[in-house]
Amino acid sequence: MNTRATQIAAPHLRHGPGAPATVPRFAHKIKTRFLYCPPLRTNAQAALSTAQMRRASSYSNTRRSTSRPPWASAAPMPRAEDLDSERLATLVSLNHFEAALRYHGHLVAASVPIPPDRVYAKAALAALERSSQPDRINVFSTWFRLVPDADPSLDLRPIRAALLETGTPATNLSLIARFAVLAAEKGYSQRVWPDVLQLLITHSTLAFATRLMVEHEFAAVSYVLKAGSGREPEVRGRLRDQSVRACIKADWPEAAAALLLTAEGLYVPTRLHGAVIAMLEERGAPMEKLDQLRVARDASARYRRFEGRIALPGDLLMQLREVRTAIRARILDKYLDVPDFLVAYDKMKPNQRVLQILKSRALMRSDETARSWLNAEFFLLRHKNHGNRSLTLFVSNFTLEGFSSDAQALITGIADMRHVGPVSPRVPKPMVLPSHLQCGSSTRTSMPPIVSRLKHSSRAGHVRY
């Protein structure tokens, strides 16, 4: 063993007062079978294993290499108190996207919240333009998730053009699918989905298109539930309608039938059911599937007739469903014996005729039951002004003794929300007769009623008896 070479090549192995304080000047030029270990200067270098140090020795054997060793790019982790989310937005606005991506990793590792900002759409667009980046889908998703929800001032046209109008659409389908789902989760479904559907019809396969349709619908519904607008059935029905139309246009009747059969509780136009049934009949589909589609068509028509035509805002529709259940259980089924009064209402455009029928049947009963037609009017009248009038009559004239506590709280809560209260009883005005009709008057200037009607009749020559 060459002790002298070891002491020169690895001076940190020498002990005693004669140990040099620094590395010899030409130590890197000495050829020896022992590894030259440079003095550790950073924590990143100290963490290197023996195998990494052996690979790094090739940089300083006989000739100084111009390339950097693996540990040279390792930067110390910034402290959590030094991290700021505003700096991330500043880096993106200055087009320092790589530095911003590294800084984003530090923020996520330190659990620092990042508020949404429109500037991150710029970074998402830059990730799309770098086609050589192997993980550009993940980078694009990282930046687009930081975009604010449903911002009308956010311009998505550059991103949409980069995905749908640039390059080969067949190679960008996975990225387009990710963009469609992320946009639906952010509340931009109506601005993105129609163009994506058109692209799926022309460039996608059946399996890929149907899977994306379902994923997009779930993403859009998740945004609606997060927003708390109560429009989940409406949004699902609209998206299912668009998906079925796209399948019919692309000549995919099997996929359209599957979407229609799983649309329970949603309104889809019955003409779409008829179009799919006709396409399947031409291709010799089994009668069992055709019967299932006919049943789904009838169910969609009933849903449209009962639920879809009620125009009430937000959660009030769901509340009135519970009120309807309580009313029918308490009064309509018990006294009026008209369990199908909603069907009769939907068959008639004006609702006054149905109310007259209910009122006439109620008047045949006792006085307490005669006021039950107000409940039907309270639910049947849909518009705001008529609804307030009906609710005023209901609160003023009907008792809530027969309802459960939940139903009572529900009805009173709706009344408070619409600022409706009981009507104060009217005080009859004293009747004042004209002077010629008062007692003691000897003159009579007014004509008899029959003569007055004949004189002021709008029909000349026609006398009504």
Flag whether 135 is in a domain.
yes
Which band of pLDDT confidence, cut at 50, 70 and 90, is reported for residue 435? low
* Residue 370, domain extent: 316-417
Please count the CA atoms within 13 angstroms of the CA of 371 that sit on its side-chain side. 12
Residue 244 has pLDDT above 50, yes or no: yes
Residue 169 has pLDDT above 50, yes or no: yes
More confident residue, 393 or 385: 393
| 111 and 203 co-located in one domain | yes
* Mean pLDDT of the 186-205 span: 91
Residue 24 has pLDDT above 80, yes or no: no
- Tokens matching residue 136: 């550009």
Flag whether 413 is in a domain.
yes
* pLDDT tens sequence across 73-113: 445 666 666 788 899 999 999 999 999 999 999 999 888 99
| 94 and 29 co-located in one domain | no
Residue 243 has pLDDT above 50, yes or no: yes
Q: Which DSSP letter does residue 118 get?
A: T
- In angstroms, the CA 463 to CA 83 distance is 95
In the chain, what is the straight-line distance between the N-terminal and C-terminal CA atoms, in Å?
140
Taken in order 238, 240, 246, 251, the sign of the CA dihedral is negative
| 84 and 60 co-located in one domain | no
| 136 and 188 co-located in one domain | yes
Burial profile 372-409: b = 16 or more Cβ within 10 angstroms, e = fewer: bbbbbbbbbbeeeeebeebbbbbbeebebeebeeebee
- In angstroms, the CA 280 to CA 388 distance is 49
| 209 and 244 co-located in one domain | yes
- In angstroms, the CA 415 to CA 387 distance is 10
- In angstroms, the CA 446 to CA 451 distance is 10
| 105 and 242 co-located in one domain | yes
* pLDDT tens sequence across 329-383: 444 444 444 434 444 444 444 445 545 555 555 555 554 544 444 554 554 444 4
Yes or no: say if 104 and 114 are a contact pair by the CB < 8 Å rule.
yes
* Mean pLDDT of the 143-162 span: 92
Percent of the chain whose predicted confidence (pLDDT) is above 70: 46
| 95 and 231 co-located in one domain | yes
Task: Identify the H or E element spanning 162.
Answer: helix 157-164
Domain boundary among 377, 402, 417: 417
> Cα–Cα distances in Å, from 409 out to 301, 400, 423?
33, 10, 19
| 147 and 276 co-located in one domain | yes
* Mean pLDDT of the 298-316 span: 52
* Mean pLDDT of the 23-34 span: 49
Which band of pLDDT confidence, cut at 50, 70 and 90, is reported for residue 178? very high
Flag whether 225 is in a domain.
yes
- In angstroms, the CA 293 to CA 455 distance is 66
Flag whether 74 is in a domain.
no
Flag whether 35 is in a domain.
yes
Flag whether 15 is in a domain.
yes
- Total domain count, the chain: 3
Yes or no: say if 112 and 80 are a contact pair by the CB < 8 Å rule.
yes
pLDDT at 334: 43
pLDDT at 180: 94
pLDDT at 422: 54
Domain boundary among 248, 283, 306: 306
| 88 and 131 co-located in one domain | yes
Flag whether 437 is in a domain.
no
Domain boundary among 306, 328, 358: 306
pLDDT at 454: 41
